[in-house]
A = this chain, B = another copy of it.
Amino acid sequence: MSKPYTRLDKNDVAVLLVDHQAGLLSLVRDIDPDKFKNNVLALADLASYFKLPTILTTSFEDGPNGPLVPELKAQFPDAPYIARPGQINAWDNEDFVKAIKATGKKQLLIAGVVTEVCVAFPALSALAEGYEVFVVTDASGTFNEITRDAAWDRMSQAGAQLMSWFGVACELHRDWRNDIEGLGTLFSNHIPDYRNLITSYNTLTKAK
């Protein structure tokens, strides 16, 4: 009667970063730019940390949409990079789907700009082909809260699971004992409140 618990498994996940381009980012107004930038980079960092196969795609880089943000390009120098010649739904691009299939993964983490198009379209297509789809909501952005809420509803009703980058990292890691320092550093770099906790803690414990 309800969706079963499909749990992220770091051995079965691929990450799709769709159209985080310098021009398109100026359209994002449902989330503060400081926070949005941080969330996108946090998602990139966790993809690297968990060694998740990551696929980059852009739409019309040479036009007003602008280039992929340089940080993402730099972080995934060897990732499949599909500059789509025109397809709006990345899933309509054969190379993109091939790249996904080549990873052999069944679980897809998707984030992008703007949510109701660049995220929702491939998410719906992937669900239709039987993938388990997890939307990283806070690393995705759109024009305003009305368009966001509508997009979330459409994806959720179709079976996508809505998550945050922090939730994703925790569900992938499962147990802190797998690596305390690595995950702690990831959180410290992207959550100021968490960094403050660590700063105070380290100061007090070093002071012993």
What 1/0 flags go to A1-32 for Cβ under 8 Å of B?
A: 11111010000000000000011011101011
- Contact of A201 with B by CB under 8 A: yes
Tell whether, in the assembled complex, residue A175 and residue B63 are in contact, meaning their CB atoms are under 8 Å apart.
no
Q: Which residues of B contact A121 (CB under 8 A)?
A: 170-171
Interface segment among A46-54, A84-92, A98-106: the answer is A84-92
Q: How far is the CB of A140 from chain B (nearest CB, A)?
A: 10
Closest to A204 in B: B204
Tell whether, in the assembled complex, residue B193 and residue A164 are in contact, meaning their CB atoms are under 8 Å apart.
no
How many identical chains are in the complex? Answer: 8
Tell whether, in the assembled complex, residue A137 and residue B150 are in contact, meaning their CB atoms are under 8 Å apart.
yes
Q: How far is the CB of A138 from chain B (nearest CB, A)?
A: 5
What 1/0 flags go to A165-178 for Cβ under 8 Å of B?
A: 01100110111111
Tell whether, in the assembled complex, residue A65 and residue B197 are in contact, meaning their CB atoms are under 8 Å apart.
yes
Q: How far is the CB of A207 from chain B (nearest CB, A)?
A: 7
Given contacts A33-B193, A146-B137, A176-B86, contact A158 B128 (CB under 8 A): no
Given contacts A64-B201, A163-B150, A198-B64, contact A27 B170 (CB under 8 A): no
- Contact of A82 with B by CB under 8 A: no
Residues of A98-145 at the interface with B, using a CB-CB cut-off of 8 Å, are 114, 116-117, 120-121, 124-125, 127-128, 135, 137-138, 143-144
Nearest 5 CB-CB pairs, A to B? A2-B159, A86-B177, A150-B162, A64-B197, A26-B26
Q: Chain A: residues with CB nearer than 8 A to chain B?
A: 1-5, 7, 22-23, 25-27, 29, 31-38, 59-60, 62-67, 69-70, 85-89, 92, 114, 116-117, 120-121, 124-125, 127-128, 135, 137-138, 143-144, 146-147, 149-154, 156-159, 161-164, 166-167, 170-171, 173-178, 191-201, 203-205, 207-208
